[in-house]
Amino acid sequence: MMKMLKLVTCIKQVPMVSELPWDPRTGTLKRNLADGMINPACRYALEAALILKNTYGAEITAITMGSDIAEEVLREAFAMGADRGILVSDPKMAGADTLATSLVLSRAVQTACADFDLILCGCHTSDSETAQVGPQMIEELDIPGVTYVDRLELDGRLLRLQRLSDNFIETLEMELPGLVTITTQRQAPRYVPLAGLQDAFTDKDISRLSLEDLDLDPELTGAKGSPTKIINVFSPTAEKDNIIMKGSARKIVQQLFDQFDDKIGGAIGKDIKDYQESQ
Amino acid sequence: MKDSIKEIWVFGDYRNYFQNRVTLQLLSRATELAKMLQAKVCAVVFGDQVDEWVNEYIAHGADRVLVIDHPDLKNYKIETYVNLMIRLIGKQRPEIILVGATNFGREFAPRIAKRLKTGLSADCVDLDINDEGLLVQTAPSFGGNILAQIITPECKPQMATVRPGTFQEIPHNYERTGEIVRIPMPADLPKERVHLIFSERSPQRSQRIEEAKVVICGGRGMGSKKKFKKLTELGELMNAEIGATRPVVYANWIEADALIGQAGKHIKPKVLFAFGISGAIQHTAAINNAEFIIAVNKNPNAPMMAMADIAIVADANQVCTAMIKELKVRIRG
Amino acid sequence: MDFNPCMKHKLVRKTVRDFSEAELGPIAHEIDRDARFPWQVIEKMRVLNYFGLQIPRKYGGAEVDSISYAITIEELSKVCASIGLCVTVHNSVGAQPIKSFGTEKQKECFLPPMASGERIGAFCLTEANAGSDASGVETNAVEVEDGYIINGTKIFVTNGGICGYALIFATMTTGAGKPFTNVFIVEKEMAGFSVGEIEDLCGMRANPVSSLFLEDCKVPFDNCLGQPGSGIKIALTALDSGRIGIAAQALGIAQGAFEAAIKYSKERQQFKKPISSFQTIQNYLADMATEIDAGRLLLYRACALKDENKPFGTEAAMAKLYCSSVANRTTNLAMQIHGGYGYSKEYDVERYFRDAKVTEIYEGTSEVQRLVISRAVLSQHT
């Protein structure tokens, strides 16, 4: 009998962008005030796993690293169809950059689901936006892996992938076990069903893993295990001193094209200045 | 011995015009950083028959080029490329490595950093050298709403991927000379486990809109599906790509792949027209890199208007119609 | 006492909000304007259990707790009150009576199609001369050899134009005995059942509210709900639950209007300052926030009692009375803050303003709620 396909999705809880906790006047980040959500790309990765589960049958383990409230993203993953939830949580892991995070997550996968077939990660997060944890887990686990995947299909142990990479549509193949990072381009994630959400809190348990459970040296995790240091944070989105135009649509458009011919005409590659007038 | 002279390495990505420009931009900035560090600039080129690029990189500021030229390197192979790079770094110990934040660069650089257990910042929009001689990497987060300055104080090399278009390339100078170091292809590399089966240039809008010089984006303020379609006509006149906000996509006024936003495409046009868009942060997070924004909205206080260089207080649909009319007259010749 | 929402309730809110904003948000204005029922969105809601919210699992429902239920209706209504209305009427006064009073056979027959949303439920008490007075029903049913023959006209039926099952309240008489009220589950295909024109209403315009006609409509014995004469009891029990739904709906409308007012007050500039910097506007916002919060606490208390299987009718009546009145005050102030723009159909507050009014009218007017509350108060202090 063939073994059940074992999928792992790594999901991150990120602040909702609509509630960006940034105060441009005081120049501070108020991350704890923001409600969390599943990082959009991670949601696409989970959807890709759910499609594989629906097609081939699979067990999905969702793993997240964060504080206690990150349990929420695992519950949501349950509601969507994940089978197991692992919360990797330890105060010593605070301040981790991608190097430390990829180490912890890789070790969590090896601890919680050593016989995994495929790990699916979101291609990047909406908060720190590095897109580095996926490729660094590929290295840490020493498995084949492909980033920015749009489509995937399984043929036995062979995974066939399609992605758009730097203007090229590429078809790639690799043997399982492996890791892919999923983009937000293809299959929109399903909505959460309300019955599943109730079950997510009654029928499912979350396993918690600490650094000790992972047998990891605290020196290699958190801020200590992170070679990069943030020395300054600032907001570039100061309000512009803009030009305001009012009046009839026709007059505005004429004024716009005459005054900004260089900007607009230049960009569209056409001369839009009204020569009849200027001649 | 080279040990005393620091080196800044730039990974030579040359696969097509766009990627090659990024490499030239990085060489330009690397030259400036090298002056501050009294370092040299070194380009690294892997591929099959790459002399053209080697010479171009010297002409654009590289003092030295490390080349591995072999038929097996014709297509990018991620594991092979990582292995080769690691071997080169191990022997040469560069101070800094810069990689263009292309899709390939953002797959390649993290794996190098992981092997070397060093730091890497992503998609940087500025690079500088501080008083301690460390590379200060300015990287965006939260959709460009926040910029963080990052250093890697203790590990070497210091690594960054850099957003295309961040720096200006310097004009080429084919009189310049540089050292070309040809390194033989090692015979003992591990076997590649990821296989490229097929590759073709993308005809998709998805890439076009992300690279487009002019983007016309429409929101609910356009009024209706029928009126929204007028943007397409305007787009044809302007050689522009059409994007949309989430409500518009959900209302089926345009296909889903036109979505510009946090969960859709991120754009960086020279000119962006925003028609009837209020400016929810899910949308604006994806347009922060537009150079010049013209927003049309009846509400002068919409957040989109505050972001714009030109804020037109008027009905979006009427302005669109007027622009079509006016352009047809003006670009007749 | 824990006033913080638990993780489950937070997630329910987020889940419904994500869905509503994505699917209903873009069309809410248009379906109100055109009085159109959005079948395409309803199709999506069916598989996500919106039509089986409190129906037991064995009949295909989600069996959510009452606070989850209230949150669901609130979040739907915050974006589109017409659909919030459709869902709450279907679930509370449509499915709940069958769940509470139906035989096992009736539950097996009627609940699964309701839970899947294949059949949408309607509750038909109101007539030309009956409404607040439930005993004034003139529609009558006569027992015949193989069932009942029903005749009469129901008016202002929420979900009337789209219902698959209509719970019809009808008066019966047997021999010389006193007349009594029964409830019949009328299926839309039954001969003699027809739907009148869709009403042209002030608010909730995307919900096809209509009259229903019963002309010698023949209904089998199996479709009679509860014991003979239990009609009034079924109506009152259903309306207790219904009040939770309407209170939640009113709260959603108030919250929607409040958030629109906050956003607008920060954007709108007068005297070179955002109007939110003026004390008058601040006072309005403070009152709105306080009242909405108070209403929410009243509502959740009623829900919690219901989930503990304790009497909750009075508390539900208080929640409905208060939340509907908050909805009206809040939408009124929200429009005031918007000034002339608020009076324009271009802004959502105009729709909130129209939608709010009926929450003081249907499923027991505010006057009837006061009657329910005062009876309880007086009986406790004899």
ipTM of the complex: 0.91
Residue C1, pLDDT > 50, answer yes
pLDDT at C73: 98
- pTM given for the model: 0.86
Q: What are phi and psi of B211, to 5 degrees?
A: -105, -5
Decide which of B206 and A238 is more confident: A238
pLDDT band for A49, please (50, 70, 90 cuts): very high
Residue, of A23 and C92, whose pLDDT is higher: C92
Cβ distance B142 to A247 less than 8 Å, yes or no, reads no
* pLDDT value, residue A274: 66
Q: Express each pLDDT in C251-262 by its tens digit.
A: 999 999 999 999
pLDDT of residue A27: 45
Query: Does residue C228 carry a pLDDT above 50?
Result: yes
A19's tokens: 């509630």
- Other beta carbons within 10 angstroms of residue C309's beta carbon come to 7
Cβ of A240 and B107 within 8 Å?
no
Tell me the CB-side half-sphere exposure of residue B3, using CA atoms within 13 A: 1
Residue A17 has pLDDT above 90, yes or no: no
Give the residue, A277 or B282, on which the prediction is more confident.
B282
Q: Considering the domain C7-120 in this protein, what is its CATH number?
A: 1.10.540.10
Mean per-residue pLDDT of chain C? 95
Q: Give the integer Cα–Cα distance in Å for A138 and B37.
A: 34
Q: What is the pLDDT of residues B180-238, one digit of tens each?
A: 999 999 999 999 999 999 998 876 544 578 778 899 999 988 988 889 999 999 998 88
Q: Do B246 and C23 touch (CB under 8 A)?
A: no
For the beta carbon of residue A83, count every other beta carbon within 10 angstroms.
15
Catalytic residue among C127, C199, C291, C363, which?
A: C363
Q: For A229, what's the count of Cα atoms within 13 Å in the CB-facing half-sphere? A: 9
pLDDT by residue (tens digit) across C144-176?
999 999 999 999 999 999 999 999 999 998 777
pLDDT at A8 over 90: yes
Q: Does any CB of chain C come closer than 8 Å to the CB of residue B299?
A: yes
Predicted confidence (pLDDT) at residue C331 exceeds the cutoff of 60: yes
Q: How far is CA B121 from CA A216, C246, C309, in A?
A: 24, 52, 57
**At a CB cut-off of 8 Å and minimum separation 6, what does C164 contact?**
C113, C114, C118, C119, C120, C121, C187, C188
The tens digit of pLDDT for each residue in A68-83 reads 999 999 999 999 999 9
The confidence score (pLDDT) of residue C4 equals 80
Q: What is the domain partition of chain A in residue ranges?
A: 5-220, 249-278
Say yes or no to pLDDT of C338 above 60.
yes
Task: Please determine, for residue C207, whether its predicted confidence score (pLDDT) is greater than 70.
Answer: yes
B248 and C269 within 8 Å at the Cβ level: the answer is no
What count of CB pairs under 8 Å joins B to C? 20
Nearest to A198 among C18, C50, C64 (CB): C64
pLDDT tens digit string along B129-156?
A: 999 999 999 998 876 677 899 999 999 9
Facing residue for A256 by CB, picked from B122, B144, B310: B310
pLDDT for res C2: 79
Per-residue pLDDT reduced to its tens digit, A56-69: 999 999 999 999 99
Active site annotation includes C308:
no
E strands, chain B, where? 7-11, 40-47, 64-69, 96-100, 120-124, 126-129, 135-141, 146-151, 158-162, 179-182, 195-201, 214-218, 241-244, 271-275, 292-297, 310-313
The burial of B191, by beta-carbon neighbours within 10 Å (0-12 exposed, 13-18 middle, 19 or more buried), is given as: exposed
| Residue at token pair 């949303």 | C117
Type of residue at A232: N
* Annotated domain spans of chain C: 7-120, 122-229, 233-380
Of A241-250, B217-226, C279-288, highest mean pLDDT: C279-288
Q: Structural domains in chain B?
A: 7-182 (3.40.50.620), 205-330 (3.40.50.1220)
Confidence at B1, pLDDT banded by 50, 70, 90: very low
pLDDT (0 to 100) of residue A279: 39
Residues 193-252 of chain B with CB under 8 A from chain C are 220, 246-248, 250-251
CA distance A104 to A114: 14
pLDDT at A238 over 80: no
Q: Closest by alpha carbon to B310, among B275, B264, B261?
A: B275
Burial class (CB in 10 A: 0-12, 13-18, 19+), B27: buried
Q: What is the pLDDT of residue A29?
A: 53
Average pLDDT over all residues of chain A: 88
What pLDDT, on a 0 to 100 scale, did the predictor assign at position C132?
79
* Topology of the domain comprising C233-380: Butyryl-CoA Dehydrogenase, subunit A; domain 3 (1.20.140)
- Residues in A closer than 8 angstroms to C49, CB to CB, are 193-195
The domain over range A5-220 is classified in CATH as 3.40.50.620: yes
- Highest-confidence range of C124-133, C264-273, C304-313, by mean pLDDT? C304-313
The answer, for B178 touching chain A at a CB cutoff of 8 Å, is no
Percent of chain C with pLDDT strictly greater than 70: 100
pLDDT in the model for residue B2: 47
Q: Calculate mean pLDDT across residues C231-242.
A: 92
What's the confidence (pLDDT) of residue A236? 66
CA–CA distance, C213 with C196 (Å, rounded to integer): 7
DSSP class of C55: S
- CATH code at C122-229: 2.40.110.10
